[in-house]
Amino acid sequence: MMFVSVLILLIVYFVLHKSLQMEIKALTELEIQNLRQETKGTVGKIHFNNAGASLPPDVVVETVISYLQEEATLGGYETEFKYKEQLENTYVSIARLINAGKDEIAIAENASTAWTLAFNGISFKSGDEVITCEMEYVTNLIGFVHAKKKYGITIKVIPNDIRGNFSMTEFEDAISEKTKLIAITHIPSSAGGMIPIVEIGKIARKHNILYLVDACQSVGQVPIDVKEINCDMLAVTGRKYLRAPRGTGFLFVRKAVQDKLDSIFIDGFTVQWVTEDDYKIRDDARRFELYERNRALTLGLGKAVDYVLNIGVDRIWQRIQFLSRLMRQQLKGINGITVHDIGDQQCGIVTFSVNGIESALIKNELAEKQINVSVGLAKSTLYYMNKNHLTAVVRASLHYYNTEEEIKLCCKELVLLCKEVEN
């Protein structure tokens, strides 16, 4: 008996030790060069606007174009029939990427559509409470305000603490028997911090409260596992860190909650059967799609997801963290620049401002040097920007295909701009 217990302990120790030791294999210089060669857009400019839209791999673009060409020659329905399996594989790949079931995925045009379908599927009534965070995206904020006006719901915004971290204590205190929904943006549009969606999910599930995650900036950047997050719904876009074409996205809805949500748009595709006076909604997440949608882009989305899976999202995340840390470090060393990102967990979105120069002007000046950055406007992340008295920030959002050299060049241009202001 004693011998068996010791043996079990030894095995547990060995497994734990091994898993702690399991290291993520960093992307090598050669791999980065190869990946860049597979993306036309990396030539001749520095693209630091991946949180806007990243550069798609050539294979994604070619997939979409050749599908459209086949549609034009074979016919739309005939081409769909020919690529039936590949189109289906997009759902399979997405499900694999976020550890969901294929029947829990609906393809959408973008994250706002996906989020809105989930949010508006909930039957709110007066007095219901929605708990959210200060990093919430504008579409979601508008959704809350709309539901407040229409049904009389209450919105509780949990502020980050002084160090930029989501307050789990305030969050738990905010939960009441009236809490209908917890809606959280994992990675905000205009800040580098992150919200602890796994920890929040544990509490949401413990209280059996619906949990909707905006993972628009996360999927393709950070490993996302819907089972680990314990979320009921997750909204995602294609064009950002997934490197898919514009006009793509998806919604995850956990099987067990699908019947609790209303389908806003219904057509012949979204029902199992229809009679002259009744119908039955289909029993998978595609109840949130309609029959007519863009097949070429669906195929492109699938290719982009496969591309991520081939590289490994943990390796992507490791590289993004390395590059963004480096950029923040270099920016902090420039006189006249303030880096705004705080919080223990930070991502590939680097935000800053330059004393005495409007963010829009910085963006334009850098664009003249073939460096793409964007401007994070107050409205995009309104609770956070208002709280911090920010009207706009420069947003440099990095992806794995960016390089240390590109960061150096961008910072060099910023040094020159700061010097011009000084003189």
Residues in contact with ligand PLP by CB under 6 A are 110-112, 137, 139, 185, 188-189, 214, 216-217, 237, 249
Smallest distance, ligand PLP to C-beta of residue 1, A: 55
Nearer to ligand PLP, 27 or 220 (CB): 220
User: Closest Cα partner for 138 from 156, 154, 115?
Assistant: 115
Smallest distance, ligand PLP to C-beta of residue 12, A: 40
User: Closest Cα partner for 297 from 353, 227, 250?
Assistant: 250
Nearer to ligand PLP, 179 or 221 (CB): 221
Smallest distance, ligand PLP to C-beta of residue 143, A: 11
User: Closest Cα partner for 345 from 243, 225, 204, 199?
Assistant: 199
Which are the contacts of 96, defined by CB distance < 8 A and separation ≥ 6?
309
Smallest distance, ligand PLP to C-beta of residue 107, A: 13
E strands, 52-162, are 105-108, 129-133, 154-158
Smallest distance, ligand PLP to C-beta of residue 3, A: 55
Nearer to ligand PLP, 237 or 298 (CB): 237
Smallest distance, ligand PLP to C-beta of residue 166, A: 15
Nearer to ligand PLP, 111 or 417 (CB): 111
End-to-end CA distance of the chain: 80
Tell me the two tokens of residue 174.
């905010």
- Note whether 362 and 417 are within 8 A (CB): yes
E strands, 264-388, are 271-274, 279-281, 337-339, 349-354, 371-372, 374-377
Nearer to ligand PLP, 83 or 376 (CB): 376
Nearer to ligand PLP, 184 or 411 (CB): 184
User: Closest Cα partner for 72 from 295, 380, 403, 345?
Assistant: 295
